A and B are shown apart, each in its own frame.
Chain A
């Protein structure tokens, strides 16, 4: 059973201070970048020591799930602040002003092995489209950009995040057209799909039916019974990235037990919703669990 992180990690305090100082002109870009590299190395080393594989770079350079895409895809810019689902966190809505084309430069934002990108449905629902007449065309061009990014970076593993798919279909049956676009993207990028911020059972089941090989699920928000009969390999998001309360190890072991041949365990979503030290505690818990299961 593997351990994996599934989204943006919280920044260490010294990096938060440095980013504030950078904004206020108290430190230079060079000094900030130096600290950024140190923090990336630290989180990579930490993951390795705890048994996480493949590792992410913490995504400390990502200010939200759409940046740096807004800097490396022409036709896309960072728009006004919007609430990020039901969190007290805000993201800059991507604004589509012209045809989307990857112009390079993502290598400046990637030092890990696993690349995590926002999926096409989440992009479609989050963006403000001022250019495309059809959502199909928009998704096609967006996925093409993601394909070029993965070709460019050659990560060991790719994951696309689809919180919007869960949010939209948490209480209704998913629309096949929406799911097919996401499943096709997963196939093109050879990517797992991570589903979070709600009960994802119906979406996970439908994506599995469409042949998606690896699906990450938010087991904090989803009843495990709802995931029975899913053929895909599952990444079980079993620790809560949105609450500092530490989970009980025994309960987590009982939670995992019914899932035969679990592919991986992970936090349910981005650890950046927790302060850095609390995020580390959750990672250590996952590491201990893996030891128990092994």
Chain B
């Protein structure tokens, strides 16, 4: 069974502070030295003495290199760089797109806010925004690479829709054209560029997909148009949602290689977190299932035996050859220590499940 990560790892403190221009504490440098030692790397610390474009670039690249080595050392088959080249998944891509204006801060929850943009014109890509990161990862690993990219529905849903509402009035048509234009004018050119440079697996992240269940067909149409004729494996990742609302519309995805979902977060001893698998049994589909077996919202290190049991439970409903093992989501909310321990156990648990299945 293939093991993979989903996307982000936390940005190391030394990197964050250095880029922000804050002074580095001995503990921050200690973190840098510790992971270099664990991962067999060495960073020229003198670069951190003078903050400039070149040294910032080196800091980003080094944290990316550390992330790649961490994922490799954990034993994953498919890796990326923990999204170290990006700040996050919404503001970063939209900074590379014309037609949007950032209008201010809006609450996500508690005291957490995000900078929200309004679409004021037809979205157009300024320049591909993940190519440099992909080429860097490609130069530094021999493992399979999967590139995560925020999907068109999520970019639309997390933005104010001024342009298309003015054009069509509020409602389905305004949203549909908005999403389709992002897919066509922004995401597809990114995909084409990545594929031209050798990308083999691309993951479309759509955490907002189930926000408005009536609009799932819009994403399906956008996905099918967006990847039409492109030679690459396309995965879709969705998390923290009521997955029941995806069906049956999601079955209309064409050439979707994998649907990667979160399960462990909602699991208990009865494996009720994996109830969706019973539903999936009733449908016909071609994709692999990216099975979330690690909860990214807790520091609990899942023992390999628990991972094994979750995978074996899934095989009651799915062909084992169609299962790919991953954490629920990106591990950016966890420290690297915790993320590493979780991923290492995930790989061990997967190998244990394979052993059981081999002798079954």
Contact = CB atoms under 8 A, between A and B. Distances in A.
B107 A10 contact: yes
B162 A245 contact: yes
B173 to A, nearest CB: 15
Contacts of A134: none
Interface in A242-280: 243-245, 272-278
Nearest to B106: A275
Contacts of A240: 170
A274 B165 CA distance: 16
Interface in B77-135: 103-111, 113, 116, 118
A45 B106 CA distance: 23
B157 interface: yes
18 contacts: A13-B105, A63-B111, A64-B110, A81-B109, A83-B211, A86-B211, A88-B157, A88-B208, A88-B211, A89-B106, A91-B109, A92-B110, A244-B162, A245-B160, A273-B106, A274-B106, A275-B106, A275-B116
A91 B107 CA distance: 10
B158 interface: yes
Nearest to A20: B111
A90 B108 contact: yes
Tell me the dominant secondary structure on chain A's binding face.
mixed
B301 to A, nearest CB: 21
Contacts of A83: 211
A83 B157 CA distance: 14
Given A86-B211, A88-B157, A273-B106, A19 B162 contact: no
Given A243-B160, A244-B162, A88 B108 contact: yes
Interface residues of A, number: 31
A278 B162 CA distance: 13
Nearest to B215: A86
B326 interface: no
A210 B162 CA distance: 39
The 3 A-B pairs with the shortest beta carbon distances in the complex, nearest first, are A275-B104, A90-B109, A19-B111
Contacts of A91: 109
B174 to A, nearest CB: 10
A273 B160 CA distance: 10
Contacts of B109: 63-64, 81, 89-92
Interface of A: 10-11, 13, 16, 19-20, 22-23, 63-64, 81, 83, 86-92, 220, 240, 243-245, 272-278
Nearest to B116: A275
B44 interface: no
A87 to B, nearest CB: 8
A275 B208 contact: no
B107 A89 contact: yes
B158 A277 contact: no
A43 to B, nearest CB: 16
A213 to B, nearest CB: 30
B105 A275 contact: yes
Contacts of B170: 220, 240, 243
A22 B110 CA distance: 12
Given A88-B157, A88-B158, A243-B161, A23 B111 contact: yes
Contacts of A90: 108-109
B166 interface: yes
Contacts of B158: 88
B162 A16 contact: no
